[in-house]
Amino acid sequence: MEAFFVSTGIVALGEMGDKTQLLALILAARFRQPLPIIAGILVATLANHAAAGAVGGAVAALLGPDVLRWVIGLGFIAMAGWMLIPDEMDDDDANVGNVTRFGVLGTTIVAFFLAEMGDKTQIATVALAARFPDLVAVVAGTTLGMMLANVPAVFLGDKVAKAVPMKLVHGVSAFIFLVLGALTLLNVGKLF
């Protein structure tokens, strides 16, 4: 359960203000059909994070425990710094009009899957899967974290984005990644 809860919390906080959350807002404003958008986010996230989790598991299998501890610890610290850099929507990510032939569900799956490639939460999923041996718990947790951050964005749109102080959320996320990185490097605590 530890892997599930840590993964959920890290990704839910990390996703706040992320470009994929901005994409959820754009899709909600463009299509005004929340259920297919939410289903598309779920499908895209499961596929993307399962692949990221598999990569993380493979990295863990290739590296010894000491090297893995340093890679994960330094990776978490790097994520802490990255969390402090606000995401912006690229023109390619925001341009959902070109893929509308797939319908709302298909457009959401394609746009979300592509936008999540190399994103903070995907990289976090790789690191979490390398750290925790329970791939299912990690993927389920990171997916739940994505849904916790994006479903309200789909239903409430800009109201959520304006009501939540993103600098504070990013600061808390960065702090959590920093603590996890330090604990990992020091090989301290039950988590590491």
Please report whether residue 88 resides in a domain. yes
What local confidence, expressed as pLDDT, does residue 39 receive?
Answer: 96
Residue 106 CA neighbour count, 13 Å, CB half: 7
Backbone angles phi, psi at 36, to 5 degrees: -65, -30
Please report whether residue 191 resides in a domain. no
| pLDDT tens-place values along the chain, 192 residues long | 888 998 998 888 878 777 778 788 878 877 778 999 999 999 999 999 999 999 888 888 888 777 777 877 787 787 778 767 765 545 454 455 544 567 888 888 988 888 888 778 888 888 888 888 899 999 999 999 999 989 998 888 656 556 666 677 667 767 877 877 787 778 765 443
Please report whether residue 125 resides in a domain. yes
Q: Dihedral of the CA atoms 92, 98, 100, 105 (nearest 10)?
A: -20
Please report whether residue 97 resides in a domain. yes
What local confidence, expressed as pLDDT, does residue 173 receive?
Answer: 67
Please report whether residue 51 resides in a domain. yes
Residue found under tokens 């010894």 = 64
Please report whether residue 192 resides in a domain. no
d(CA 148, CA 169): 14
Please report whether residue 27 resides in a domain. yes
Length of the chain: 192
Backbone angles phi, psi at 17, to 5 degrees: 80, 5
DSSP H or E stretch at residue 133: none
Whether the predicted model's global pTM rises above the 0.75 cut: no
Please give the tally of structural domains in the chain: 1
d(CA 154, CA 51): 25
* Range(s) of the domain holding residue 22: 2-186
